[in-house]
Structure 1
């Protein structure tokens, strides 16, 4: 019964707190509206949510988080050097098709976030059957190397975490 009314209690609490903090008012009307908002929004978006998330390897998720953070720093420097380069040192961006073994929708969503957060890469298109991914790389040196980097650094750990 309570699970039907509150499908995501943390989201409900977060929305209530966010409403109150953003409005900087804690009157009865704001509390009532915050509770209504906190209950209704999770109920309305529940059909839009993918399958439930189950972390099979939370320790690996932590390692992946730090790996992505390090990659963001490294790629920021590569982008900076690339934008300042002249002549034949100017980076050559290109698209690469990455065949996917990852099928879990939550894992694919995390992969999309990773590729969009790391400077120099962007998730461009996912095949309808989820078998391949089109990625643009800012500084493409070797396509096969970029494919293996994406598969080994991101897809493989995500498969261990989500599948």
Structure 2
């Protein structure tokens, strides 16, 4: 498992400098949405039980209980899968590289890494009212070559993370001039 001090395939003498998960507001939105959709069957019952007498009959009550059980199972599965996605999406910044571990469903995970010396364009993007109020956003990292961009999604203090990774990349390039981008070598 990934911790703030160790992760699989960690190189010898590699130090973890940042261990980043999505902002807590993301999981709060999931919990609030789950609570709201959990209340719907109760509100439905309270409204229709007073208006109509059909829910007092055994057959209709049994169908209603069956429907509510299936609905509750759906809500629990929705909440659980979204929490797993939140909890297992991790970005690790070490003194040598950046590792992106992204959960793609319950049984699929994508892990990729980029060396600090190959990073060229590091940008933060904060969109929307809530992102501005709670200080979270996305960090985009473009590397040399045709590789796809890293995107740190909905992380806290995106501007500060961008600055720190830019500083780390500059320090890494000074300490390891041979690891520069392909354009520098050509």
Task: Give 1 or 2 for the bigger CA radius of gyration.
Answer: 2
Greater per-residue strand proportion: 2
User: Normalised by the size of structure 2, how large is the TM-score?
Assistant: 0.25
User: Normalised by the size of structure 1, how large is the TM-score?
Assistant: 0.27
- Greater RCO, CA 8 A, separation 6+: 1
